[in-house]
Structure 1
Amino acid sequence: MTLFVCFLYKLSIILFVISIMLNKVELKFGDDSITDKLKALISKLPSSSGVYLMKNKEGKIIYVGKAVSLKNRVRQYFQSQTNMQAKVRAMVSHIDEFEYIVTDSEMEALILENNLIKEYKPPYNILLRDDKTYPYIKITISEDYPRVIKTRRIEKDGAKYFGPYSNAFIVNDIIEIIHSTFPIRNCKRNIQKSIEKKERACLNYYIKTCLAPCLGTVDKDEYMEMIYEIIEFLESKNDRLVETLKDKMYQASMKQDYEKAMIYRDKIQGIKEMLEKQKIVSTSNTTDKDFLAIEKNEEMSCIFMFFVRGGKVVGTENFIFDKDNNGEKDDIMQSFLKQYYINTGYIPKEIYINQQFEDMELLSKVLTNKKEQNVTIKVPQKGDKKDMIDLVCQNAQETIKRREAVKKSEQQKTKDISYELKVLLDIDKDIHKIESYDISNIQGVDSVGGQVVFIDGKKSPKLYRRYKIKTVQGANDYASMEEILSRRIKHEDLPDLILLDGGKGQVNVVRRLFERENINIPVFGMYKDDNHKTMGLCSDKELFELKKHTKLYTFIASIQEEVHRFAIDYHKSLRDKKVSYSQLDNIKGIGNKRKMSLLKHFDNIEQIKKATLEELLQVGSMDKKSATAVYDYFKKN
C-alpha cells in the first residue's frame, strides 16, 4: 500500500512538471520576431476548440484554421521553425495579430472554418477557386403532374435529383430525348388553376409533345407511369426504354411512316451512344460514389474526380492547384474536401480517396449531418474500388503532364516572341515586363489614361492602373500621355519596355520626359492602319512594320487591343457616372440624351450654370423650351 502511495505521489509530481512545461512553451525562432502584442495574445489563448484568424499589419485576414485546442495549435506557429514548411514560415512572418472564436465542438469548428475561408478567401489557405456548380436532372415528384428539368441547385423539396453531370450538353441531350420520347409537360403552369379557368393548351399539345394535363383530361396514373419509366431510365435501367422505342419504330415502319421511324431510330442511337460514354463500374452496387485522387509535382497539384451514379461513371472533373497553393498532399486533400462537399448541394453516400488526412472521421460526421444519411470517406486498399482509385490517379498524373506540356509550349512561345522583339527593337536586356498606355476622351471631356501590364507574355490585371488627367485641359493626347507617365515613374518596379497606343508624336513626348528624369526604359508606339488595325511598332524616328499572322504581330495586337479596351471602359464608367448623377436630372424636359449633349458641349456643370440662353440654344439637341428650363433652373438655384 505504501509503495502504491509513493508511486502515485511520484506520478503526480511528473504530471505537474509536464503541465508546467506545456504552459511555458518557449516562444522562439527568434525572440525579436515575436512582438509583445503577439505574446500577450498567445498568453490568453483558451484550451477549448475553435477557429483562429491570422492577420497582417493591414488587418487583412491571411489565414484561417481550426483547432481542438486553440492554445496548443496557435502556439505551434511561434515555436521552432526547423520542420515548418516554407509556405507556413512565410505566413508566420506576416502575422501581426490574430483573433479566435471558441466553439462547442471540433465539428462546429470545422464548419465555421470552412465558412470563414469561403467568406475571406485568405491567401495562405488552399482555396478551391473553381466555384462552378454542376447541373442535375430534376423530376418534380411533389407536383401533381411532374416535370423533368435541368437545375444547378439541390433543395429539400421532395423532388428526385440525378447527377451531378460534368457536361451540361449531356444533360440537355438527355432531357431532349426524354421530352421527345415522353409527352410530359415542361411548363411552369399551375395545373389546377389552368383547369379551373379553362385555359387553352400551349403549342406543345398541338404538336403532340405534351398530353396537356392543364386541360383536365389526362389520367394522372397514366401520366405517372411515364414519369416512373423516366426514373428507371435515369437510374440506368435503360433496356425497357430502348425496347419501347424499338416497338414504336417498328410500328411506324409497318404504317410506312418512315420519317417517324427514322426519328425513333436516331433516339435509340443517341441513347446507346450516351450509354457507351459511361464506364460501367458495378452492376450490383448502384450506390452513388465519388472517387478522388491527388497527384503532384514541384510546380502543381491536381485533384481528379470520377462521379459514379447508378454504377456508371457519369462525369469527371479536375482541379489544379498552382505553385502558390502546392502544399502537402494531405493538406490539399483535406482543404479541398471540406470546401467542395460542405458547399455543394449534393453529397454521395460513399467518397473514396487516395490520401488520408487528419479530419477524415470528423468530416464524415459533418457530411452525414448535412445529408441526413450516413456518408463514409475511405481510402480503399484492395478490390474494385482500389482499381478505380488507381485509374483516377492515372488520370490526375496525365492531367499534370498535359498541363506541363502546355506550360512549356507557352513559355517557349513567350521566349521566342521576347527574343524577336528584343532583336527588332535593338534592346540590350531581356524583356519580362511590358507596360502599355492609352488615352481616352470624347472631344477632351473626362480625359483618362489606362495602363495594362504583361509579364512573361501574360496579362497581369492586378497591376493594371487607371489615371484621371489632372493638369491637361481639353483634348491633348500628347500632354495627357506625358502626365500619366510622369506620375508612373515616381513609383517602383518599372517595366523593361513601354508600348504606347499611338505614333511617333506620343513616343517623342515620353522619350523627352525620360531624358529629363534620367529614366532608361525603351519606349515605342503601336501604330494602326486606316482601318484602325494594328500595323506595327515605331520609335520617334522610324517604323517597324510587322508581318500579319506571325506570333509577334498577334502578341502586339493583343496588347494594343487590351490597353484600348481598358482605357475606354474607364472613360465610359466615368461618363456614365457623371451623366447618372447630374443636377440636370432635376430639370423637367432634360433626359439622358440632352444631358450628354450639354456635358459634351460645356465640359462640366459649372460651365452650364454660367451659360446664356443663346449659348444653351447652340447645343444640337436643345430647343427653346428645354434651353429656357435649364437657364431658369440655375438662375433660381
Structure 2
Amino acid sequence: MASDLPYKPKPGEIPTNPGVYRFRDAAGRVLYVGKAKSLRQRLSNYFAPLHTLHERTRRMVTTASSVEWTVVDSDVDSLQLEYMWIKEFDPPFNVRYKDDKSYPFMAITLADEAPRVIVTRNPKIRGAKYFGPYPKVWTVHDTIDQMIKVFPIRTCSDAAYKRAMQSGRPCFPGQIGRCGGPCSMKVTIEEHRAMVDDFIAFMSGGDSRFTKKLTAQMQQAAADMDYEAAARYRDKLASMDAVLSKSALVLPADEDADVFGIAEDELAAAVQHFIIRGGRVRGVRSTTIEKELDISGAELVDQLIQRVYGEANPDAIPKRVLVPALPDDARELELWLRERRGKSVQLKVAQRGQMADIMKTATLNASQALMLHKSRRSADYVSRSRALTDLQEALGLETAPLRIECYDISHLSGTNVVASMVVFEDGLPRKDQYRSFNIAETTDDTDSMYQVLSRRLARLNDDAETVDEAGNRKRFAYPPQLLIVDGGQPQVAAAARALKDAGRTDIALCGIAKRLEEIWLPDDDYPVILPRTSEALYLVQRLRDEAHRFAITHQRKRRKRDITTVLAEIPGLGETRIKTLLRHFGSVTALKNATVEEITQVSGIGASLAETISEHLKPR
C-alpha cells in the first residue's frame, strides 16, 4: 500500500502551486524530475496504492527514498526549471536518448569578414547560419559543390584566406576555381557579401527569382549567339535543379515547420524530425529513446520539445511545430518557444491536408527506425556474443547459455490462466519452438509456474532419447542450458522445486523481477544487479517481454474463442451475425445487459431471434 513508502508527505504538506519535483534515492542521486501545474495533484498519483501503479513507476517510487519540490510563479517557469534540472542531473528514470549522433550541417560563417561555407557538426559557431541537419556528410559536400557553381562564395580555410589577403596572391582553392571569395582576387569584400546573401536566400527558400534571372540570361545569350555564356548559364541552372531535387517541395513555398513523427512501444520510442524550410525538407534527424517510466505520447512530446529546442539557436526554431499529440502544457510550451525565438510559434497536431500527409510520412519513417534499431541490436553478432558471455559470468555458469527458455504466467483477475514459453538460441528467438499452456486449476502464480515447468520437464525426460527419422532429437525435447521465469523469489522458488522434483540438476535457473529489473537465483538472499547498459540485461529483458507478449496473445485468442463459443450455442446465430453483434455492442457483457428492443436494432436480428439471444444470455 501507499503507507509502504516511508517518505510519503503528510496530507496538506504538498502545495497546490505549479512547480517542479525531484525523486532521490538513499545516496541523494536524483532519479526523476517532473513538473506539474498542481504539485499536490500530480504527486498524489505517485503515492497511490503500489499495486495500482505501472510496474516501472512502482520501481521508481520504491527505489526512491525522498521527494522534494520547488514552487514557481508560473507554468512556463516550471517548464524552464524542469529542463535545467534534467540537463544538470541526467535522471535515470527520465527518457533516455540513444543513437542521437551528431549530424552534419552546412554552415555559413556570417561573423567573418568574408563568410565561407563549411561542413560542420558543431551547432554553436558564433554568428553562423545553418542548413540541415543532413543524414550523411557526402550529401552536404555534394550540395556545396553544386551551390558554389552558381554562387561562388569562399570555401578556403581562415589561414589560407589570411595568407592570400596579405600576399595579394589567390588562395589555392581560388586558383583551381573552388573558392570565389575576396582571396581569389576576383571580387571585392562587398561584392562577395552580396553573393553570400544570395546563397543564403536560395538555400532558405529556393528563391525562384534566381532561376528566372538565369533563364532570361541564358535565352538572351543564345539570342546574341554567345553560346559559351549560354552554356555557363545552363550549367548553373542544372546545379540549381540538382540542389532543389534533393529537397522536394512538400508544403507551400512560404511554409517553415518542424514535423515530429513518433513510433513507440512500452520500452522505447523512435523520433523522425523533418525540418521544412521554404516548403522543402531541408533536414532530417533520427533519435531513439529508451523509456524508464510509463509515459504517454503527449508527455513524450513535452520532453522531446524541451530537449530539441532547449539549446537550439533562436533562428532554428520555426513558426510552426507539428506533433502527433499535444501535451497538457502546450500553451506554456508555445510561450517558452516564443520567448526563445522572439516571434510567435504554433504547436499543433496536423489533422488534415498536406500537413497530415507529412506527419504520416514522418510517423512511418519513425516506425521503420524503431524496428530497425531493435533488429540491429538483436542481430548484431558481437552484441549477442557479449550478452551471452556477460550472462554466463553474472550467473556463474560453466558455459554460455546457447539455448534459453523463458516462462510467463498471464491471467484475467485470476481466471483464464495461461502460460507461455519462448525460446532463444544463440541470442535469437526461435519462434517455431514457442509453446503456450492452458492451466485449468491453480491457486496462484507460483503454483501455475510449478505446474507449467513440471509439464515441460516431464516432456523433456520422456522424450530425452526420442529422435525423428533423420536422427535428430525432437525440438521440444531439446534441453535448455538456462530457464528464466518472469518474477522474483517466489516464482524462482517454485521453478526450483519443479526442477528438483524432475531430477534435473543440469539446467540453470534465474528470475527477472520487474520492480528493479533484478536477477534472482535460487536460494540467494540478494539479487544479481546487471548494469543498465549491459547487453546481458537487454537480452534478459527481451526474453521476458517476448514471453509476456506471447502469453497475452494466447490469452486474447483463447478469450475470443470462448466468447465466440458462448454465442455459437445460441440457435440462429452464425459466424456473420456473431461478428455483427460483437461489433455493435463491443462485448458479451454489454450484449447480456441489452434489452430485446436494443438487440433488434442490430442489422439482421429480428424480434424472435433477439428474444432467444436475451433468454439464452440471462444469468442462471
With the length of structure 2 as denominator, give the TM-score of the two structures: 0.54
Instruction: Choose which of 341, 349, 358 in structure 2 pairs with 1:371.
Output: 341
Question: 1:34 aligns to what?
Answer: 5
For residues 51 and 255 of structure 1, the distance between their equivalents in structure 2, rounded to whole angstroms, comes to 71
Pick the structure with greater CA Rg.
1
Alignment of 1:37-436 (within 5 A): 37-39=7-9, 44-81=13-50, 83-141=52-110, 143-153=112-122, 159-187=128-156, 189=158, 199-210=168-179, 213-214=182-183, 218-234=187-203, 235-237=205-207, 240=210, 244=214, 247=218, 271-284=240-253, 286-298=254-266, 300-322=268-290, 324=292, 327-345=295-313, 346-403=316-373
The answer on whether the counterparts of 2:147 and 2:243 sit within 8 Å (CA) in structure 1 is no
Compute the displacement of 1:103 (Å): 2.6
The answer on whether the counterparts of 2:272 and 2:363 sit within 8 Å (CA) in structure 1 is yes
For residues 171 and 165 of structure 2, the distance between their equivalents in structure 1, rounded to whole angstroms, comes to 16
Compute the displacement of 1:368 (Å): 1.0
Greater CA drift, 165-174 or 135-144: 135-144
Compute the displacement of 1:73 (Å): 2.8
| Pair 432,43 (structure 1): closer, same or farther in 2 beyond 3 Å | farther
The answer on whether the counterparts of 1:278 and 1:314 sit within 8 Å (CA) in structure 2 is yes
Compute the displacement of 1:128 (Å): 2.8
Letter in 2 for 1:309: R
Letter in 2 for 1:302: A
1:530-582: CA deviation from partner (whole Å, max 9, x where unpaired): xxxxxxxxxxxxxxxxxxxxxxxxxxxxxxxxxxxxxxxxxxxxxxxxxxxxx
The answer on whether the counterparts of 1:280 and 1:312 sit within 8 Å (CA) in structure 2 is yes
Question: 1:485 aligns to what?
Answer: none
SS in 1 for 2:327: coil
Aligned residues: 401
SS in 2 for 1:279: coil
The answer on whether the counterparts of 2:100 and 2:288 sit within 8 Å (CA) in structure 1 is no
Letter in 2 for 1:207: I
Letter in 2 for 1:321: I
The answer on whether the counterparts of 1:293 and 1:355 sit within 8 Å (CA) in structure 2 is no
SS in 2 for 1:293: strand
Letter in 2 for 1:318: S
Question: 1:605 aligns to what?
Answer: none
The answer on whether the counterparts of 1:302 and 1:400 sit within 8 Å (CA) in structure 2 is yes
For residues 364 and 165 of structure 2, the distance between their equivalents in structure 1, rounded to whole angstroms, comes to 60
Highest RCO, 1 vs 2 (Cα 8 Å, sep ≥ 6) = 2
The answer on whether the counterparts of 1:305 and 1:316 sit within 8 Å (CA) in structure 2 is yes
Compute the displacement of 1:279 (Å): 2.7
For residues 401 and 94 of structure 1, the distance between their equivalents in structure 2, rounded to whole angstroms, comes to 31
Letter in 2 for 1:386: A
The answer on whether the counterparts of 1:294 and 1:396 sit within 8 Å (CA) in structure 2 is yes
The answer on whether the counterparts of 2:164 and 2:171 sit within 8 Å (CA) in structure 1 is no
For residues 176 and 221 of structure 1, the distance between their equivalents in structure 2, rounded to whole angstroms, comes to 23
| Pair 38,297 (structure 1): closer, same or farther in 2 beyond 3 Å | closer
| Pair 103,188 (structure 1): closer, same or farther in 2 beyond 3 Å | farther
SS in 1 for 2:97: coil
Question: 2:615 aligns to what?
Answer: none
Compute the displacement of 1:322 (Å): 4.2
Letter in 1 for 2:279: G
For residues 177 and 157 of structure 1, the distance between their equivalents in structure 2, rounded to whole angstroms, comes to 26
The answer on whether the counterparts of 1:306 and 1:392 sit within 8 Å (CA) in structure 2 is yes
Letter in 1 for 2:332: L
1:397-422: CA deviation from partner (whole Å, max 9, x where unpaired): 333444565567569x969x98xxx9
1:60-97: CA deviation from partner (whole Å, max 9, x where unpaired): 21111112333443333213346532221211111201
The answer on whether the counterparts of 1:48 and 1:70 sit within 8 Å (CA) in structure 2 is yes
Gap runs ≥5 in structure 2: 406-424, 429-480, 483-504, 509-620
Letter in 1 for 2:270: C
Question: 1:476 aligns to what?
Answer: none
Letter in 1 for 2:353: G
Letter in 2 for 1:350: R
Question: 2:614 aligns to what?
Answer: none
| Pair 115,397 (structure 1): closer, same or farther in 2 beyond 3 Å | same
| Pair 72,300 (structure 1): closer, same or farther in 2 beyond 3 Å | closer
| Pair 397,193 (structure 1): closer, same or farther in 2 beyond 3 Å | closer
